[in-house]
Chain A
Amino acid sequence: MICWSCEKEGGKGPLCASCKAVLPPDAANDRFAVLGLPRKFEIDLGAAEAAYKELSRQLHPDRFAKADPRARKAALGRTVEINDAWRTVKDPVKRAQYLLELAGFGLAGDDRQTEDELRKTKQVAAPPTFLMEILELREELGEAQRAGDAVKVAFMAEEMRARAAETMKTLGAALGAGKFEEGARTLVALRYYQRFLEEVAAHEERTASGGGHG
């Protein structure tokens, strides 16, 4: 990238190689590259967080409060990119989904996909028997919640958490072995488990805060 400040080749980093001015984001970088991490599922989260903090320290807009408007804009863009990257990388499910997207797999029913992505990616959907099972579990949960059966809700949530943890392991192993199709199928299942648990949490929050708005 040509540096806006010294007009020389600035290199690939966030700071210009010759004059150290902050450069605008480079769309060619994926979210792992933004944080200087290898593109894989198993990562050292502690090291990743340290990298995130160090980049923030260098590039946060507060560091450029009185700088040239172009530097301020570039710093803003870089920091948005760093924050988005860290949000994806630190969460194992988001990280797995992003790796699968990079490998050309899409998840059916994912609203975030654009048409272009839908056309270009291989869509993986959950098998009907699995969907039936989830549907029944959701109905059972709904009944327990309506009946105010907190013990049953807690029990179902605990079972689901165990299942999700197990599935997470399978997902990690598949991605580590480069088996993306299997990984995508596992992730589809995992997302259904997550939504189940989200519903449990949302209901808890509604009940704890006096409810009645749901």
Chain B
Amino acid sequence: MAESFLQISEPGASPTKRACQTRAIGIDLGTTNSLVAIVDGGRPVCLRDADDQAILPSVVHYAADGTIVVGAEAHDRLAPEFPRDTVASVKRFMGRGPRDAEATRKLTPYQFAPPAGDGNVVRFAVAGGRAVTAMEVSAEILKVLKARAEAELGAPLDGAVITVPAYFDDGQRQATRDAGRLAGLEVLRLLNEPTAAAIAYGLDKQAEGTFAVFDLGGGTFDISILKLEDGVFEVKATGGDSALGGDDFDRAIADALLERWGLGDAAAHDAKLVRRVLDGARAVKERLTTEAEVSIDLALPDGRRTAKLTRTEMELLVEPVLMRCAGPVRRALKDAAIEPAALSGVILVGGATRMPLVRQFVEKMFNRPPLGDIDPDEVVALGAAVQADVLAGGAGQGDMLLLDVVPLSLGLETMGGVVEKIIHRNTTVPCGATQTFTTFADKQTGFDLHVVQGERELADQGRSLARFTLKGIPPMPAGMARLEVTFTVDADGILRVSAREETTGQETKIEVKPSYGLTDEEVEKMLLDSFAHAEEDVKIRLLTEQRVEADRIAAAARAAMADTPELLTPEDKAAIDGALAALATVRDGTDHLAIRAAVEALDVASKEFAGRRMNIAFERGLRGKDVDAVEKKADETAPKRDLASRAGSHAGHSH
């Protein structure tokens, strides 16, 4: 066999027992459990720990002495004892702010730290006086999985694909990406969980046809309709609820138990009580999957409490939560323009789909029993590993291709807070779309553009992704300026927005930075904080980050010089060339501070040049027409005046 060949390792890499073409990994970063998988000899497999467990409980404990414990021990032993210092279900906080529902919930074991900086990120107050963000907590889970893969494959890794719920918005995706960076992973792609499941299932069973993937995990619900044909996995429609899952079942059961025991008020300020009742509720729910009735006997802080619960009683408690899945299922089927009878099968993913009630619900919604021959825990990680292998250049899956969609519509806020959708949900990525806007007020000289994601009609009901301002429109009557706004979404789901003033044909481009992302400085600071006890690691990571930054800046500078040589004075050119050369000499060294200094020097050297480029772009892009032309146009376009009402009411720059 070819094993002897495959065992020849690359220089610098330790020998490996695996027959892998690439060292790319797939990670299922779940609300309750996380897994890592690789493609080995053409087949995806989940990697196991020393105890032969593939599943890593997504629980992170922060001890007072700075030690961090992740996984089963944190879940089984430390969470009951130190509920505030042991974060579970952190995924529900990803990309969420301190004012979001998740952080203002009454029944929570956590204490939140006052927001830092711009206050957009939730922080947990844990032992040792530390405050950690959801990204940092997730990064601890990722680090354990990364180490497991490195031990198996021989470092370094080629990169990782991390799965996210299909219904995650841009902010939640950005937070997941940041967590990957914090863990020192090169994130090749964020892959939607139901899509990952379909890949693993489709490749394993050689399945063809249109399938529904019903994915009910610990904290999120996704429904996707996919067409599988000749190795092409085409997502037809996706929907869901990024705050609906098994945790909500536990909470409904816990609420009922607390009420039965008269502890409803006590739970509001007793973290241990909340943790134990939530854990008890989860155990009850799991036992009632196979049993008809269970006795509960919980050791609570103020003594033992007992109760009996039948499966029927439990189902009555969780049914209202489960019913919230119905709307997204109906909508996805409608968006995919398919009747349940035309489906080839329904694939179940996520631990919560083990509940008999959930299976009955799925059977009723789709008019058929779901497929039961896959492991709902491992299937997502397996699919992620396949996609990671493809992206890293592995030939194992040959012609496999994934066509995914935008999960939530992307639009701009217009007059009266109404959202004008520019890219509709379930559009295949990559994609682009253009919409024309105009001024709302006479002599308006600027546009405030507010990029929003979501299906609601009003901006304050959707998720705000970014705000930016375009200035410098010459004063003219309302409705005269014509701004063409283009949205582009690449294969990674990253949105870019550009605006073009039609009369001059010049462009201004803005890359949308989601409000919930972290800046590079924040990431660096977190890296420093989290690795305070492992200086060597910090250095290596900082060095890598800094080299990436150096390459990015140098490439940008060269591209700008090639693009607009006419804006470059001989002095500028000499200064920039000098700075580039200086950067090149330190780039491959080991001193990240030297690289950083060289990057900053380049920044200074190119400042004037960059400023001129910016000015020219804005001036050209937004220069108006002369008055005669404007008045002539006014007659021609009179019937189109209704457009004015679609351009921002936030005529904040009208003078």
With beta carbons under 8 angstroms apart, the residue of A62, A65, A119, A201 that contacts B334 is: A201
B430 close to A61 (CB less than 8 A): yes
Q: Is the CB of A65 within 8 A of B392?
A: yes
- Of A61, A208, A214, which contacts B490 at CB under 8 A? A61
Most buried by A among B428, B429, B637: B428
Q: Is B120 an interface residue (CB 8 A)?
A: no
A and B contact pairs by CB, cutoff 8 A, 19 listed: A53-B230, A53-B234, A53-B401, A56-B403, A57-B399, A61-B430, A63-B401, A65-B188, A66-B392, A66-B393, A76-B491, A80-B488, A111-B436, A111-B643, A111-B646, A114-B502, A116-B502, A118-B636, A208-B327
Taken residue by residue from 56 to 71, chain A's Cβ proximity to chain B (1 for < 8 Å, 0 otherwise) reads as 1100111101100000
A205 contacts partner chain B, Cβ-Cβ < 8 Å: yes
Q: How far in angstroms is the closest Cβ of chain A from B432? A: 5
The reply to whether A213 and B461 form a contact with Cβ atoms under 8 Å apart is yes
The listed residue (A62, A76, A209, A214) touching B401 by CB distance below 8 A is: A62
B401 near A80 with CB under 8 A, answer no
In the complex, the chain A residue whose C-beta lies closest to that of B455 is A205
Smallest Cβ-Cβ distance to B427: which chain A residue: A87
Question: What 0/1 pattern do residues 132 to 169 of A give for CB contact below 8 A with B?
Answer: 00000000000000000000000000000000000000
Q: Is A194 an interface residue (CB 8 A)?
A: no
B643: which A residues are within 8 A, CB to CB?
A: 111
Using a CB-CB cutoff of 8 Å, which residues 67-105 of chain A contact chain B? Answer: 76, 79-80, 83-84, 86-87
Q: Which of B391, B399, B432, B482 contacts A114 (CB 8 A)?
A: B482
A108 within 8 A of B: yes
> Is there contact, CB below 8 Å, between A84 and B482?
no
Interchain CA distance A57-B390 in the complex, whole Å: 13
Partner pick for A209 among B327, B334, B390, B639, CB 8 A cutoff: B327
Q: How far is the CB of B201 from chain A (nearest CB, A)?
A: 20
Nearest A residue to B424 via CB reads A87
Q: Which of A57, A83, A84, A108 contacts B639 (CB 8 A)?
A: A108
Q: Are A115 and B457 in contact (CB under 8 A)?
A: no
Give the Cβ gap from B240 to chain A, nearest Cβ, in Å.
Answer: 13
Decide yes or no whether B633 CB sits under 8 A from chain A: yes
Q: How far is the CA of A151 from the CA of B474 in the complex (A)?
A: 55
Query: Which parts of A102-129 form the interface with B (CB within 8 Å)?
Result: 108, 111-112, 114-116, 118-119
* Neighbouring B residues of A119 by C-beta, 8 Å: 636
Measured CA separation A62–B161 after assembly (Å) = 13
B230 touches A80 (CB 8 A): no
The answer, yes or no, to whether B435 is at the interface (CB within 8 Å) is yes
Chain A 32-72 residues near chain B, CB threshold 8 A = 53, 56-57, 60-63, 65-66
Q: Name the residue of chain A whose CB is nearest to the CB of B428.
A: A83
Mark contacts of B639-655 with chain A using CB atoms, 8 A cut-off: 1 yes-contact digit, 0 otherwise: 11011001000000000
Is A114 within 8 A of B484, CB to CB?
yes
Chain B residue contacts of A208, Cβ below 8 A: 327, 330
Whether A83 contacts B436 by the Cβ 8 Å rule is no
Task: Report the minimal beta-carbon distance from B461 to chain A, rounded to whole angstroms.
Answer: 7
Tell me how far the C-beta of B232 lies from the nearest C-beta in chain A, rounded to whole angstroms: 5
Is B456's beta carbon under 8 Å from chain A?
yes
B residues at A contact (CB < 8 Å): 188, 229-230, 232, 234, 327, 330-331, 334, 390-393, 399, 401-403, 427-432, 434-436, 456-458, 461, 482, 484, 488, 490-491, 502, 633, 636-637, 639-640, 642-643, 646
What separation, in Å, do the CA atoms of A119 and B428 have in the docked complex?
32
Residues of A within 8 A of B327 (CB): 205, 208-209
How far, in whole Å, are A208 and B229 apart by their CA atoms in the complex?
33
Given A65-B393, A114-B502, 10 more contacts at CB 8 Å? A53-B234, A57-B232, A60-B401, A62-B390, A66-B393, A83-B427, A111-B436, A114-B482, A118-B640, A213-B457
Chain B proximity of A198: nearest CB distance (Å): 12
Q: For A118, list chain B residues within 8 Å (CB).
A: 636-637, 640
Q: Judging by beta carbons under 8 Å apart, are B633 and A115 in contact?
A: yes
Interface residues of A (CB under 8 A from B): 53, 56-57, 60-63, 65-66, 76, 79-80, 83-84, 86-87, 108, 111-112, 114-116, 118-119, 201, 205, 208-209, 213-214
Provided the pairs A115-B502, A118-B637 are in contact, do residues A60 and B491 lie with their beta carbons within 8 angstroms? yes
Known: A56-B401, A205-B331. A80 touches B482 (CB 8 A): no
Could you say which residues of chain B place their CB within 8 Å of the CB of A84? 431-432
Residues in A with CB closer than 8 Å to B390 are: 62
Contact between B636 and A80, CB atoms less than 8 A apart: no
Pairs of residues from A and B, 8 with the lowest C-beta to C-beta distance, nearest first = A61-B491, A65-B391, A209-B327, A83-B428, A80-B430, A80-B432, A83-B431, A57-B401
Closest to B433 in A: A84
Given contacts A62-B402, A119-B636, are A56 and B432 in contact (CB under 8 A)? no
Residues of A within 8 A of B431 (CB): 80, 83-84, 87
Residues on A with beta carbons closer than 8 Å to the beta carbon of B436: 111-112, 114
By beta carbon, the residue of chain B nearest A81 is: B432
Which residues on A sit within 8 Å (CB–CB) of B484? 114
User: Nearest chain-A residue to B393 (Cβ)?
Assistant: A66
Partner of A56, one of B232, B435, B646: B232
- Docked complex Cα distance between A104 and B432 (Å): 24
Closest to B229 in A: A53
Closest to B431 in A: A83
Q: How far, in whole Å, are A66 and B22 apart by their CA atoms in the complex?
A: 13
Question: Which residue of chain A is the closest to B637 with respect to CB atoms?
Answer: A115
State in angstroms the CA–CA spacing of A65 and B491 once bound together: 10
Residues of A contacting B488 in the complex (Cβ-Cβ under 8 angstroms): 80
Please name all residues of chain A whose beta carbon is closer than 8 Å to the beta carbon of B428 when the two chains form the complex. Answer: 83, 86-87
Q: Looking at the assembled complex, report how far the CB atom of B336 sits from the nearest CB atom of chain A, in whole angstroms.
A: 13
CB-defined contacts of A65 to chain B, threshold 8 Å: 188, 391-393
Report Cα–Cα, A1/B166, bound state, in Å: 39
A60 CA to B461 CA in the complex, in Å? 34
Within the complex, the shortest CB–CB distance from A67 to chain B, in Å, comes to 10
- Chain B residue at minimum C-beta to C-beta distance from A210: B327
With a cutoff of 8 Å between Cβ atoms, the chain B residues found around residue A116 in the complex are 502
Closest Cβ neighbor of A61 among chain B residues: B491
Residue in chain B with minimal CB distance to A67: B393
CB distance from A113 to the nearest CB of B (A): 8
Residues from chain B with Cβ under 8 Å of A56 in the complex: 232, 401, 403
Compute how far the CA of A62 lies from the CA of B392 in the bound complex, rounded to whole angstroms: 9
Q: Which residue of B lies closest to A86 (CB)?
A: B428
Beyond A87-B427, A201-B334, A205-B331, is A79–B491 a contact (Cβ under 8 Å)? Answer: yes
Q: In the complex, how many angstroms separate the beta carbon of B231 from the nearest chain A beta carbon?
A: 8
The interface residues of chain A lying within 8 Å CB-to-CB of B646 are 111
Contacts of B399 in A (CB 8 A): 57
Q: How far is the CB of A75 from chain B (nearest CB, A)?
A: 9
Bound CA–CA A79/B639 (angstroms): 36
B149 to chain A minimum Cβ distance, whole angstroms, is 19
Q: Which residue of A lies closest to B230 (CB)?
A: A53
B43 CB to closest chain A CB (Å) equals: 20
Chain B hits for A60, CB < 8 A: 401, 403, 491
Complex: how many Å from CA A22 to CA B390?
Answer: 19
- Within 8 Å CB of B461, what residues of A? 213
In the complex, A111→B431 CA distance in Å?
A: 20
Q: Which A residues are in CB contact (< 8 Å) with B427?
A: 83, 87
CA distance A214 to B427 in the complex (A): 24
Residue of B nearest to A79 (CB): B430
A54, chain B: closest CB distance, angstroms: 9
Q: Given the complex of chains A and B, what is the CA–CA distance between A57 and B232 in angstroms?
A: 8
Q: Which residues of A contact B230 (CB under 8 A)?
A: 53
Residues A62 and B491 in contact, CB atoms below 8 Å apart: yes
Taken together as a complex, chains A and B put the C-alpha atoms of A108 and B402 apart, in Å, by 39
Task: State the CA gap A119–B632 with chains docked (Å).
Answer: 13
